[in-house]
């Protein structure tokens, strides 16, 4: 099989849909179907089973796709090692990033990176911090960007802090929370963010909210608040100057200091030796120096 056929199999396995896979591969469905038949003939087995719901892998197909992924990863690794010997920044920068950072902060940094290093490629996945740590452990990415305090033994770079605010269209003071019947909209994740808010609440009010709504996406939480459904506690990274018709009351800790969240860049020592990772780290540091008070 050629390298492009390994890519074909991995894309099919990711999409599990002929139409979507054909679109990603920039080929027609009939052409994709014919190429898949040729590959299956070469292997002497069915790799995918078609149904009205899409594609499903056969047991033999799982082995073939696993092999295809390993070939692609090995080729990419060899390319990166070769390119690290060159003076120009090439190769793919593989990043796993906390969703909230990927939506609100990272695009500004990536814009600078692609402008400065047009030959480099970017592979980006977003998710919860636990998923990012797992991606690092599984060697799926070069670097991870997480929220909170990391339990990480390898190299790490502190990126920024951003303050937490009680956000609402009516509440102007923290103590008004005890008087309102409006629901507290909470964002629940697998990070320690949710627990930090719970701990702060109980220390400050010694009681529980009268009404609560729990959602699993921070953007949903924000939009429900902006639309007047209730109040929420949100980090500054999610708020911008356009949100002018809502009140933002800063949360204070027991020492009357602003309650804040940290964001960190993590990776293994070997990853930081790659030129594209070194270049990205330099771009981040330049960005932070140019706008140190972003949050």
Domain CATH number, residue 78 = 1.10.10.10
pLDDT over 70 (residue 241): no
Residue with tokens 């030796």: 273
CA distance 49 to 99: 34
- State residue 108's pLDDT score: 93
Banded pLDDT at 10 (limits 50, 70, 90): very high
Half-sphere exposure of 145 (CA within 13 A, CB side): 25
Confidence of residue 91 (pLDDT cuts 50, 70, 90): confident
Q: Are residues 130 and 172 in the same domain?
A: no
Torsion of Cα atoms, 170 then 165 then 105 then 124, to 10° = -100
* Whether residue 196 sits in one domain with residue 70: no
Distance CA 271, CA 267 (A): 6
pLDDT in tens, 159-208: 999 999 999 999 999 989 888 989 999 887 766 777 888 888 888 888 88
Looking at the structure, tell me whether residues 99 and 59 fall in a common domain: no
Domain identity same for 171 and 252: yes
* CATH code, domain with 247: 3.40.190.290
Is residue 32 domain-resident? Answer: yes
Are 9 and 136 contained in the same domain? no
pLDDT tens for 26-71 read 999 999 999 999 999 999 999 999 998 899 999 999 999 999 999 9
Asked if the structure places residue 151 within a domain, the reply is yes
In terms of domains, do 237 and 178 share one?
A: yes
Global pTM value: 0.68
Q: Identify whether residues 167 and 249 lie together within a single domain.
A: yes
- At 77 the pLDDT is 83
According to DSSP, the β-strands at 143-147 and 92-98 are parallel
pLDDT of residue 37: 94
Per residue in 129-139, pLDDT tens? 888 999 999 99
Average pLDDT, the chain: 89
CA 241 to chain centre: 23
| Contact partners, residue 165, CB within 8 Å, separation at least 6 | 233, 234, 235, 236, 239, 248, 249, 250, 251
Binned at pLDDT 50, 70 and 90, residue 145 comes out as: very high
Q: Kindly state the tokens that stand for 180.
A: 């309102």
Q: Are 167 and 137 in contact (CB under 8 A)?
A: no
Q: Which domain holds residue 210?
A: 161-260
Same domain, 179 and 55: no
Question: Do residues 146 and 278 both lie within one domain?
Answer: yes
The two tokens of residue 161 are: 């802090």
3-state secondary structure of 68: helix
Q: Is 58 exposed, middle or buried (0-12, 13-18, 19+ CB in 10 A)?
A: middle
């Amino acid at each position: 099989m050629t390298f492009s056929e390994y890519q074909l199999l991995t894309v099919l396995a990711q999409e599990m849909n002929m139409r979507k896979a054909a679109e990603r591969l920039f080929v027609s469905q009939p052409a994709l179907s014919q190429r898949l038949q040729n590959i299956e003939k070469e292997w002497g087995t069915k790799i995918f089973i078609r149904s009205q719901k899409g594609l499903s892998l056969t047991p033999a197909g799982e082995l073939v796709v696993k092999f295809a992924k390993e070939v692609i990863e090995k080729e990419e690794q060899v390319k990166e090692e070769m390119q690290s010997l060159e003076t120009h920044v090439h190769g793919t920068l593989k990043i796993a990033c906390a969703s909230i950072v990927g939506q609100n902060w990272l695009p500004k940094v990536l814009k600078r990176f692609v402008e400065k290093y047009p030959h480099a490629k970017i592979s980006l996945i977003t998710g919860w911090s636990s998923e990012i740590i797992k991606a690092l452990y599984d060697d799926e990415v070069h670097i991870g960007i997480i929220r909170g305090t990391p339990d990480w033994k390898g190299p790490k770079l502190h990126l920024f802090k951003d303050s937490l605010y009680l956000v609402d269209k009516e509440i102007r003071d923290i103590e008004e929370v005890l008087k309102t019947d409006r629901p507290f909209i909470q964002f629940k994740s697998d990070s320690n963010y949710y627990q930090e808010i719970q701990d702060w609440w109980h220390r400050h009010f010694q009681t529980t909210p009268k009404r609560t709504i729990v959602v699993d996406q921070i953007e949903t939480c924000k939009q429900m608040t902006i639309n007047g459904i209730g109040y929420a506690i949100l980090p500054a990274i999610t708020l911008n100057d356009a949100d002018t018709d809502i009140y933002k009351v800063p949360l204070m800790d027991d020492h009357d200091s602003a309650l804040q969240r940290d964001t960190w860049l993590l990776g293994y020592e070997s990853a930081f030796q790659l030129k594209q990772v070194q270049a990205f780290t330099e771009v981040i540091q330049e960005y932070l120096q140019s706008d140190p008070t972003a949050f």
